[in-house]
Amino acid sequence: MLQSLKAIKNRIRSIENTRKVTSAMQMISATKLSRLDSRLVHNRPFARGIESILSNLLLGRQVSLNPFLEPRPSGERIVLCLITADNGLCGVYNNNVIRQAEDFISRYGWDKVKLVIVGKKGWSYFKNYRESILHSYLGLSGRYSDKVCEELLNNLTSLFLSKQADEVYLVYTRFKNALTNQVVVEKFLNIDIKPGEAKNEYIVEPNISRVMQELIPEYLAARVRLALLEAFTSEHASRLVAMRTATENAKDLLNSLVLLRNKVRQASITREIIEIVSAAEALKG
């Protein structure tokens, strides 16, 4: 009985320490989520606005001289950029991204797909295919960096312009709210915006090609920036939910263990009283 009581106390102490860790991680994730969510909210309108302008400019115009609009053979040489986390403890966040990447690769085959990986979890999963990994970005820990964004953009566009890739795709997690996110696979290059109905009439000066030379790099930079912000915000939201759930589960487990400890202690005291009473009765007899 005493050994059982000691084991219960040790387990309570262990779970209390775990709860402190998960609670601290929950607060850290909440702070990071708040910071990134604010930045994401400010970047979304810009990215959507520049895409709308580009769509309107493409309506009824031929700008085939721009290399980013050049049509290429489909499904021949593909670069897939997947954005995962550097750390775990964020639920199924990494597994969902990796699963989508696997499905994408299975459709085209390893002989046609090369990888650009953001995050240690994605790199660790695909490290056995190192000859297929062109670039990797590790150690970001969910922190957005303009320098990394620019470097990633330059590498992806260089692969396309040098014709090492005919198509470039992004797979990342799009943030909806703290409880909901969605893994998406989007084509990045070549630019394949479907011209919509013209909402505004633009006077293009000096000419459409010059405007596109200035506008398209801004559009591509906005897309990479938004993908990173969406992914990192989703990562912190997933970790926040996972740590909150872990903290609540630890609290419930602690309550049940405290109740069990009290029952064991009460049983031990009752047994000792019975032994004392029995010994006293024996001495009387």
Which residues contact residue 195 at a Cβ distance below 8 angstroms, ignoring those fewer than 6 apart? 55, 56, 58, 59, 60
Per-residue exposure over 233-251, b if at least 16 CB sit within 10 Å of its own CB, e if not: bbbbbbbbbbbbebbeebe
Under the banding of pLDDT at 50, 70 and 90, the label for residue 194 is low
Give the tokens for residue 245: 């759930």
Evaluate if residue 37 carries a pLDDT over 70.
Answer: yes
The SS3 assignment for 134 reads strand
Evaluate if residue 199 carries a pLDDT over 60.
Answer: no
Give the tokens for residue 165: 């890739």
Q: What is the pLDDT of residue 272?
A: 75
Distance from C-alpha of 85 to C-alpha of 124, rounded to nearest angstrom: 11
Cα angle value 91/235/168 (rounded, 5°): 115
Residues 157, 189 contacting (CB under 8 angstroms): yes
Q: Is the whole model's pTM more than 0.95, yes or no?
A: no
The residue whose two tokens read 């115009």 is 61
What does the pLDDT look like over 114-153, one tens digit per residue? 999 999 999 999 988 888 899 999 999 889 999 999 999 9
Q: What is the pLDDT of residue 73?
A: 78
Of 39-53, 196-210, 219-233, the one with minimum mean pLDDT is 196-210
Which residues contact residue 162 at a Cβ distance below 8 angstroms, ignoring those fewer than 6 apart? none
What does the pLDDT look like over 44-96, one tens digit per residue? 999 988 888 888 777 766 655 678 888 787 778 999 999 999 988 888 999 99
Residues 8, 260 contacting (CB under 8 angstroms): yes
